[in-house]
Structure 1
Amino acid sequence: MNTANSDSASDSRPEWVAGFMSGTSLDAVDAALILTDGRQVFEFGATAERKYLPEERRILQRATELARTWNWTGPRPDEAFDEAKAVITHTHSETMQQLLTDWTDPTPVLAGVHGQTVLHRRPMPGKPGATLQLIDAPAMRTALGVPLAYDFRTADVAEGGQGAPLAPAYHAALLQRLGDGTACVLNLGGVANITARLADGSLIAFDTGPANGPIDEWVEGHGRGTHDFGGTLAKTGTADEALLEQLLQHDWFSEAPPKSLDRYDFSAAMVKGMSVEDGAATLTEFSARAVAAGIAQLPEIPSRVIACGGGRHNPALMDALARALPCAVLSAEEAGWRGDSIEAEAFAFLAARTARGLPISWPGTTGVPEPMTGGIVLA
């Protein structure tokens, strides 16, 4: 993959763009403003976070559960999907208002909204991939009050790509700001994915395995909150080494990249029957070792791994990564980045590229045959 700033386009004027992300952890809508031309980031603007209320989260969880049951077969659960879309529109509108409350620079000219992923199937031999992000685009366009870029994954999947990860285009721009050298961006969301910049400047990106998803599911299933706050449960538990060895024999880890996962391809059921502490410890260690297995698939070992996403707030997971990886592990903040806003910034960046007709996925990131544009702009 060529880095994002090497592409050509007719319009190179930097503009303020808003980006929004609601991840599979279903905890909040994140938003951020960046000044960009789709190749570089010139300035970072305001950020905002709007936590989901319990009832809103329940609606999104129900849509996800019904999507998994449906799995593109039989009647589609449109009633639940429509209810979830209404939540998504309302919460994104409130997040936009929060984002612009104290913003005195120019109003953003465009918004990039990912939508809510409820189902993702990677392509397999004889079976094409598929992906579904819930969004009511006309309602979202009206609610945000600016042109909308959305549906970033469908075109990639239609051409045989994985449809994920999409953040590498933005990771490349962030890594460019750090200078030369091998480095790797690790996003710890429901699923973990990496973007590795090699010595020649090329990028390789793929999902490595689970991150927070199974841990959150395990903790919530035991009535201990929505996540392992501070890694407390994992720190007091003991990981099951025999089970970890067995889990790491999964065919996923020998599959060559690029590759992608659905959030529920690895679930909390892996540790069924354990105490809540030992289960949390085992799932946390598994997420870290899955990342290590992904790093081992790279043609070059990076000099450092920069962790972003919610998982970097989990000390137990960060400690496990430090033990498992063959290089230094830094938080996004240690690299000078805004760790809680990177995914939102990424979709602002992708929106700018979409509006300019620039590629957002490449053979080395999603497995598409050639660099591909993607996304739809609703003016």
Structure 2
Amino acid sequence: MSNPACSQFFLGLISGTSADGIDAALVRFEGDDAPLRAELVAARTLPWQPDVRARLVWLGQGGALESLDELGELDAQVGEAFAQAALAILAVAGIAPSQVAAIGSHGQTVRHRPYAAHPFSLQIGDPARIVERTGITTIADFRRRDIAAGGHGAPLLPALHHALLHDPGEHRAVLNLGGIGNLTLLPASGAVRGFDTGPANALMDLWCHEHTGRPYDEAGAWGATGTIDTALLERLLGDPWFAQPPPKSSGREHFQRAWLAPHLRNGMAAADVQATLRELTARTIADALRANQADTRRVLVCGGGVHNPALMDALRLAMPGVALASTAESGLDPDHVEAMGFAWLARQTLQGKPGNLVTVTGAAGPRILGAIHPA
């Protein structure tokens, strides 16, 4: 097994709830939790093969495969794809596998059920295959331990957000606009908190694909041609999940087509629904921020939604008096913060340090996360 004290680099891999590609980030860390310095050495997003992505999206939205054989084969395929992503980023960076202490692989979430009678979160992407193909110690399965300790297993990156983005001079928040939105609350002093807010891009992507054939609404242009349907918005906001206090988390298996369908009415223009889904994202985030850290002065945004000007404008309107900016202004590439996070979690695990925050997930205590698969 690589010794993290003798290796500078960690590699993070994740495919988020949108399943739009595998994000790979090669990171060099210096220092401890405070201050922590993280240099993004190289990063890229590798697209999924269309047939694999279709199955991942189907599963993530609550669909079922026909057999355990199919699930097992998909787990193997995802593992192979993650391994190729790791090798590709090393080739880009000109870094040998022997220079990498560990890979932190989140895998692909296909179910997240923190409210089940027996709570669980299931990610696929066989880590043994990543080890075999890369020769690098791989740490995976980060969510199970927190869930076993009574937590949600999510969100897992608020501790890193605090280490890199906290400012003792102002109350801040970090907003991740992936398929599902989540907030990390960074008060000037005091405990860090974090939680999911509901759909960010998931429903907009789904609706856009259904009505235009495109995987997402680029720059929010199509939705910008529509008008918000206030009656539809109020029906959507009526879901009791939005009113639940933290800790809370969710996934595409909740906010998916079957969730949206009962709220639609005949004759609705598709672009109007898209505009309303954009407003749903903005409203639920703004409401959550006001309810949990009303004196926030700055929100730093990462994830794919940062590239949607219509959504960013909607957020600004919903949060007057709050400065909204990309994490790029603080030196963090907004497209690769999550992948950097799993590189950091791998480092935490190898150093025997907890990766969760009990004020975020609700677990019984700090836990070292992930299963180590030695090279």
- The Cα of 1:315 is off from its aligned counterpart by 1.3
1:238 equivalent to 2:227? Answer: yes
1:262 equivalent to 2:262? Answer: no
The separation in 2 between residues aligned to 1:24 and 1:105, in whole angstroms, is 29
1:229 equivalent to 2:222? Answer: no
What is the CA deviation profile of residues 32-66 of structure 1, one whole-angstrom value per residue up to 9, with x for unaligned ones? Answer: 1111266323422111211113222123234446x
SS of residue matched to 2:359 = coil
SS of residue matched to 1:365 = helix
Alignment-derived partner of residue 343 in structure 2: 348
1:207 equivalent to 2:196? Answer: yes
SS of residue matched to 2:253 = helix
Q: Is the 8 A contact 1:63 1:80 kept in 2?
A: no
Would the alpha carbon gap of residues 254 and 142 (structure 1) be closer, same or farther in structure 2, given more than 3 Å must change?
same
Would the alpha carbon gap of residues 242 and 248 (structure 1) be closer, same or farther in structure 2, given more than 3 Å must change?
same
1:292 equivalent to 2:289? Answer: no
Gap regions ≥5 residues in structure 1: 1-10, 71-75
Gap regions ≥5 residues in structure 2: none
1:115 equivalent to 2:73? Answer: no
My pick for the range that moved more, 28-37 or 211-220, is: 28-37
Mapping of 1:273-352 within 5 angstroms?
Answer: 273=266, 274-326=268-320, 327-352=322-347
TM-score when scaled to structure 2? 0.90
Q: Which of 93, 98, 101 is 2:83 aligned to?
A: 93
Mapping of 1:105-144 within 5 angstroms?
Answer: 107-123=99-115, 127-144=117-134
The separation in 2 between residues aligned to 1:184 and 1:215, in whole angstroms, is 23
Q: Which of 162, 167, 171 is 1:182 aligned to?
A: 171
My pick for the range that moved more, 32-41 or 287-296, is: 32-41
The separation in 1 between residues aligned to 2:51 and 2:37, in whole angstroms, is 37
SS of residue matched to 2:361 = coil
1:166 equivalent to 2:161? Answer: no
Alignment-derived partner of residue 8 in structure 2: 15
Letter in structure 2 aligned against 1:319: D
Alignment-derived partner of residue 39 in structure 2: 43
RMSD of aligned C-alpha atoms? 2.2
What is the CA deviation profile of residues 77-131 of structure 1, one whole-angstrom value per residue up to 9, with x for unaligned ones? Answer: 422222322331232222122211242456211000001100111236xx24211
Q: Is the 8 A contact 1:236 1:277 kept in 2?
A: yes
Q: Which of 17, 23, 27 is 1:34 aligned to?
A: 27
Letter in structure 2 aligned against 1:34: V
The separation in 2 between residues aligned to 1:366 and 1:257, in whole angstroms, is 8
Alignment-derived partner of residue 242 in structure 2: 253
Percent pairwise identity: 36
- The Cα of 1:320 is off from its aligned counterpart by 0.8
Q: Is the 8 A contact 1:32 1:99 kept in 2?
A: yes
TM-score when scaled to structure 1? 0.89
Would the alpha carbon gap of residues 13 and 288 (structure 1) be closer, same or farther in structure 2, given more than 3 Å must change?
farther
The aligned length equals 361
Q: Is the 8 A contact 1:14 1:35 kept in 2?
A: no
Q: Is the 8 A contact 1:111 1:348 kept in 2?
A: yes
- The Cα of 1:137 is off from its aligned counterpart by 2.0
SS of residue matched to 2:9 = strand
1:24 equivalent to 2:17? Answer: yes
SS of residue matched to 1:143 = helix
